[in-house]
Amino acid sequence: MAKQLDFEYGSASSRPMRALFRTGAVQFTQTSATDLTCDIRDVEALSASKSDLKSYSNLDEFAEACCQHLIAHVDELQLHRLLQHSELRILRSSNKGDYFEWRCWDGRVTLTNAGGSHHFAAARYIAGKLRLKVPLSGRLYRHSLVREGVSVLRDGYLVYAVGFPSIDQFFELSELINSTGAEWCARALPLPHRGLSLVLFFPRADKRSLEVASVFHDAKFEEFGERLHVWAHRPHQWSH
């Protein structure tokens, strides 16, 4: 399995730039909390499983591949049995661990769970097949991008998203950029976009950085600042 690019990297001169993200000198994200009641089918992602969730595009696909023994009988009795599983804490009034999350850069409601992924996915799958409602209630944490912070970022930096077939190719590119003397910084994409891709930041105030950034522009790489702008203006979902 390919190693994920999950780190910060850049030129030696980019340390102040990287510190900008870490110290909170500019606020880029904010989190708000509220109570949420939703249907089990409204949950589109899970945070943890013994199986590799990233290998499946949605929870139904995950259920069909990894929960076959739990969905062999698609009926109300099996649904009831699955919902009694002790690790489905979101269904318990005593729940103090599991909760919901919504991220503007994702758009899905995620159940942050400590266990029970297979039973949850199977119950969700059967409920969908039978068109039955299964209400869930819990705390929802909404993670958003701060519009003003994104504006400051875009005013100060050209931002490009770049995918790499291998981590070695990233290091080859980083050596090439460093040889120009340009200031730059790389950061991993947030979940669920993380993988063999990084976001590269080039300060507009540095002439050499602008020259390097122009190469990415001419090569038709995505100017990621526009996507950040779209995410920052995505309406807050699940506010009820």
Per-residue pLDDT at 170? 85
Delimit the domains of the chain by residue range.
9-27+146-232, 30-145
Secondary structure letter of residue 194 according to DSSP: -
Distance CA 106, CA 11 (A): 30
Per-residue pLDDT tens digits of the chain, which is 240 residues long: 333 334 455 554 445 445 455 444 567 788 999 999 999 999 999 999 999 998 999 999 999 999 999 999 999 999 999 999 999 999 998 877 899 999 998 889 999 999 999 999 999 999 999 999 999 999 999 999 889 989 988 999 999 988 887 788 888 999 999 999 999 988 887 767 666 578 899 999 999 999 999 999 999 998 999 989 999 998 866 544
Indicate the SS3 state at residue 24. Answer: coil
Per-residue pLDDT at 123? 99
What the block records as the tokens of 176 is 């090439």
What the block records as the tokens of 74 is 């698609």
Smallest CA-to-CA distance from 132 within 234, 40, 31, 240 is with: 40
Q: What are phi and psi of 92, to 5 degrees?
A: -100, 140
Distance CA 125, CA 59 (A): 8
What the block records as the tokens of 124 is 């969700």
Per-residue pLDDT at 182? 93
Give the dihedral sign, CA 95/97/98/99: positive
Smallest CA-to-CA distance from 81 within 122, 53, 20, 44 is with: 122
Give the dihedral sign, CA 44/48/54/59: negative
Per-residue pLDDT at 10? 56
What the block records as the tokens of 20 is 């900008």
